[in-house]
Structure 1
C-alpha cells in the first residue's frame, strides 16, 4: 500500500498563514486533490476541526431514526468566518458538502449516503453568540446553539422560544426544516418566529447574505430569508438567526380528556377555540394503542385513568397565559373546569386534570415507546383538520382489511391538522417484515392523504432522502421546476448534497 503525506498552506480571511499535513494511503489523482483540500481545511479549522477517523465520524453519519452512510470527513467550524473559508475552499475544489445541525431530523436530510463522497459540515461548535434584546423580545443566536441551550439562556429574562419538541435540535436545523411542534396552534412554527438570518452561499463561493434584522415590519422587497426556511440546507449554510421570543407562561392548566367518539374530538376543539381563544396552547390526540405502548415500555409511567382501563382515544389539552391571575383575574385551572363541566357525559366521557408534567411526559414518550413494539412505519402528515376524523376512519379500516397484522398507534397535533399516523409491524407478527410491502403501504396511505384529503406527506419533518420519491410523486412539475431553478442559482454545481429539488 502506497502512503503519501500532503502539505498545504492556507491564508485565512484574517491574513493568518498556516500549514498542515495529511497522510493518505493508496491514493489516486482525485484522492491527491482531496487530501490537499483536507490539509488546507485542517489549517483553517484547527485541532478537532476535521475528523477523519471512521469511529469518530460514525455519530455524524447515522440519523436519529433513519439513514446511515459514510462521509470522507466531518468538518466542525467554530466561527462564521471559518464557514465562509471552508465553503470557498470546498467549492473551488468541487467538493460536495452536507450541512448538519444536531442531527435530530427524521428524514435523513442531514445524513450522508453510502457513497463516501461528501464532507459533513457540522455546526455543533458554532454556538458562542446569544445576544438577547428583552425589550424587542428578540435574540441573535448562532446556528449551532440547541433549543434547550437557548431557552436556558432566556429563562432569567422570563422569555422562551416556544417550539415544543421531544428532541433538542439546533436553531439552524430548526430553520432548515421549519420545525413546528406541539404548540404551533398558539405560537406558530419557526417560519412565523424568524425575524432574520445570516447565510453563507455556495454561489458566489463563500458570499455572505446578511439579513440579520430584528424588525417585525420590513416591506422593502422579497423576504429572502424565507428561501432558507424548509430548504433542508440546500440553498446555503445558515450561521446565525434572529428570532422572535415570547413571554414564559405564568399559568398553565392541563387535562387529558376522553372524547365520546372521534367526531367529538373536533367539536371539543371548536368549543375550546371559541370560548378560550388565545389561552388554548396545545390540543394533541393520542390513540389508546399508543398510550398502552407508553405504559408498557417507559419506566415509572402509570395509567392516568386508573383504575379504569386505557381509553380508545384521548386528547391532551393545555391552556396557558403569560398574564398572572392577580392581574388578569383569570385562573386557568378554574377555566378548564368550567369548560369541561358542561361537556361531561356529552362530548367528554372522562378527564384527568392537572399533573401537567406527567401528562406531557406521556405525549413526548410515544415515539420512544413505539420502537419497542416492532418496526415502526412513520407517517408525518397533515390535512385540513376538518378531514382528520374521516381520514382516520378510512385509513384504519383500510389497514384492518388489507394489512391486519399491522398496528395503528397514531398521535398528533389535531389543532393544526397534523397527525403522526404511526404504524408498527409487530416483532411477533406471523408475517415477516417485508420492506417492499411497507413501500406499497406507504404509497397507498400517502395517495389517500394527498389526493383525496388534499394534505401533505411531510407536515413537519421536511424533505430528505427518506421521502425524496414522494416529493417527486406529489409535487407539481411547475413547483419542482421553480425550486430547481432556485437551487441552480444558489448551488450551480450541486455541491450541497441535496439534489431532489426540481427533479434533478
Structure 2
C-alpha cells in the first residue's frame, strides 16, 4: 500500500490521493444503492493525469471504478466490497469551460458540474437544457445518457453531444472534441461511450450543444380524470403548441397527496386531489411583447376543456417555481409514507395507462397492501413507478417481497408492453440481473466485442453489461 500511494502521489501530486478510511468513505457509498470498499481514491485534475493514472493501473492490473458526482441511482458509481478497486474521482477535473456563443457550444472537462456549466452559460444567455433534480458532472451525464424533465423539447444528452475526449483503460487518449453538427464520415465514435456506464473508457472532456435561455415560461397544473385524459391533453398540446411545448410531467393522485401531507410549505391548488395532475410548461426565447405564452396556454387549455370536458377536471395557472417545487418534492414525500420500491420504467406513451393499470391489478390480487404512487415524464414515455407500503402490513419480509415484485413489474414493462426496465438511470449492480435477463443475445455479443477491444483486461467498472 505504501508503494502504491507513493507511486500515485508522484503521478498526481500532493492531496490527489486518498487512502485514509475516513477520507474514502464518501466515495464508497452510493446515492441510493451500493456501498463498498476502495483500496485508494485518486483525484486527477487534468486529462494527462487521468491518462497517467489509467496507464499505471493497467500495468499493475488494478481495477478502477470511475466516479463523477456520485448521484447515480443504480449502484454503478461505487467500488465492490472486496477492497481491491481504485476509485477514480473526477471531482477535480473541472478546469476547462470554453463557451462559444457563435457556435452555441461549450467545451468542458468531464468533471464540470451541471450547475457550474449553467452558471457560466447564463452570462451569455445560454443553458445546457438537460434538466434534472440532482447536480451531476457532465462526464457522468454522458456515461448514463441523462434525460431529465425537458427531454420532450430538447432531447437527452446523446442528442446534444457534439464531441468527446476519452481515456481508454490502457491510458490512451482519444480526442474527438469536434464542434461539428454535421459529420457524416462513418462511425460516430462519441456515441459508443454515451449511455454505456463508463465501461469503454473515461470521459474527460466533451463539446456540448447548448441552447438560448428562455425569456419567458408559462405553467399550469391540470387536473385530469385518468390516464386516457392525460394522453388526450398531451396530443392536444403537441398538436397546437409544439414549438413552445417544453415539459409534460404527470403526478398520480396518490403521489400528489403525499406531497401535501409532508411538505407544509407547498399549497394544494385544487379543492380535491385529482386522479392525475399534469404539469404543463411552455417556454420561448421570444419576449412577451411578441408572444404571450400565458395567454396562449390559457386559450389552448380552454379549447381542450370544451372539446374534452369530461376528462379535464380543473386547471390552475401560477408561478413556474411554485409548481415545479411540487413536482420535485414527490420522491422525498413518498419516503415519508413508508417503505418505497422505486422503478424507472419506459414504455411507448400510448401504453402508459394500460401498463399502470396492469401493475395495479396484479398488486390488488397478490399484494393489496402496496400502493402505486406513480409520477414522471409522460411526455417522453417515462414513469417513476413507486410502490409504497408499511412493512407492518406485509406478510412477507422485504428481502422476499422486493425481488418477487420487481420481476413481475419488469416482465409487464419489457415483455408485455415493449418497454424498458431502465428509462434513464442506466445499468448497475442494482438492476444487473434484469439486464442479463432481457437483453437480446446479439446485443450482448456486440457489446462484449467492443468491451474486449477497449478494455480487454476488464479493469473498468463493476457493471457487467456484456
Name the TM tier (shorter chain). over 0.9
Could you tell me whether the CA contact under 8 Å between 1:379 and 1:422 is conserved in 2? yes
CA distance in 1 between partners of 2:24 and 2:383 (Å): 34
CA distance in 1 between partners of 2:371 and 2:23 (Å): 37
Alignment of 1:230-241 (within 5 A): 230-241=195-206
Whether 2:362 is the aligned partner of 1:398: answer: yes
Deviation at 1:233, TM superposition (A): 0.7
Deviation at 1:428, TM superposition (A): 4.6
Whether 2:234 is the aligned partner of 1:269: answer: yes
Structure 1: stretches of 5+ with no match in the other structure: 1-33
Q: Which residue of 2 aligns with 1:459?
A: 423
Q: Which residue of 2 aligns with 1:311?
A: 274
1:193 aligned to which of 160, 173, 180 = 160
CA distance in 2 between partners of 1:425 and 1:43 (Å): 53
CA distance in 2 between partners of 1:117 and 1:302 (Å): 50
2:225 aligned to which of 260, 276, 301 = 260
Q: Which residue of 1 aligns with 2:334?
A: 370
Whether 2:268 is the aligned partner of 1:291: answer: no
Whether 2:208 is the aligned partner of 1:248: answer: no
Q: Which residue of 2 aligns with 1:140?
A: 107
1:387 aligned to which of 335, 344, 351 = 351
CA distance in 2 between partners of 1:309 and 1:35 (Å): 64
With the length of structure 2 as denominator, give the TM-score of the two structures. 0.97
Q: Which residue of 2 aligns with 1:330?
A: 291
Larger radius of gyration: 1
Deviation at 1:497, TM superposition (A): 2.5
User: 1:53-91: per-residue Cα shift (whole Å, max 9, x none)?
Assistant: 112111111111111111111111111111010011110
Could you tell me whether the CA contact under 8 Å between 1:37 and 1:89 is conserved in 2? no
With the length of structure 1 as denominator, give the TM-score of the two structures. 0.90
User: 1:186-213: per-residue Cα shift (whole Å, max 9, x none)?
Assistant: 00000000000101011xx211110100
Could you tell me whether the CA contact under 8 Å between 1:118 and 1:497 is conserved in 2? no
1:65 aligned to which of 28, 32, 43 = 32
User: 1:204-255: per-residue Cα shift (whole Å, max 9, x none)?
Assistant: x211110100010011120011010011110111111100000011111101
1:114 aligned to which of 81, 85, 90 = 81
1:360 aligned to which of 319, 324, 339 = 324
CA distance in 2 between partners of 1:346 and 1:276 (Å): 22
Deviation at 1:432, TM superposition (A): 5.8
User: 1:86-131: per-residue Cα shift (whole Å, max 9, x none)?
Assistant: 0111100000000000000000110112111210100011111100
Deviation at 1:430, TM superposition (A): 4.7
Q: Which residue of 2 aligns with 1:496?
A: 460
CA distance in 1 between partners of 2:457 and 2:91 (Å): 26
Deviation at 1:499, TM superposition (A): 4.5
CA distance in 2 between partners of 1:311 and 1:293 (Å): 13
Deviation at 1:436, TM superposition (A): 2.0
CA RMSD of aligned residues (A): 1.2
CA distance in 2 between partners of 1:431 and 1:419 (Å): 28
| Aligned length, in residue pairs | 463
CA distance in 1 between partners of 2:264 and 2:40 (Å): 38
Structure 2 CA distance for partners of 1:58 and 1:239, relative to 1, 3 Å: same
User: 1:168-187: per-residue Cα shift (whole Å, max 9, x none)?
Assistant: 00000000000000100100
Could you tell me whether the CA contact under 8 Å between 1:373 and 1:427 is conserved in 2? no
Following TM superposition, where does structure 1 have runs of at least 4 consecutive aligned residues deviating by more than 3 angstroms?
A: 430-433
Structure 2 CA distance for partners of 1:210 and 1:302, relative to 1, 3 Å: same
Q: Which residue of 2 aligns with 1:86?
A: 53
Q: Which residue of 1 aligns with 2:174?
A: 209
Structure 2: stretches of 5+ with no match in the other structure: none
Partner of 1:498: helix, strand, or coil? Answer: coil
Partner of 1:422: helix, strand, or coil? Answer: strand
Q: Which residue of 1 aligns with 2:187?
A: 222
Q: Which residue of 2 aligns with 1:343?
A: 304
1:441 aligned to which of 398, 401, 405 = 405
2:140 aligned to which of 156, 159, 173 = 173
Could you tell me whether the CA contact under 8 Å between 2:346 and 2:421 is conserved in 1? yes
CA distance in 2 between partners of 1:56 and 1:431 (Å): 41
Greater length-normalized contact order (CA 8 Å, ≥ 6 residues apart): 2
Structure 2 CA distance for partners of 1:209 and 1:161, relative to 1, 3 Å: same
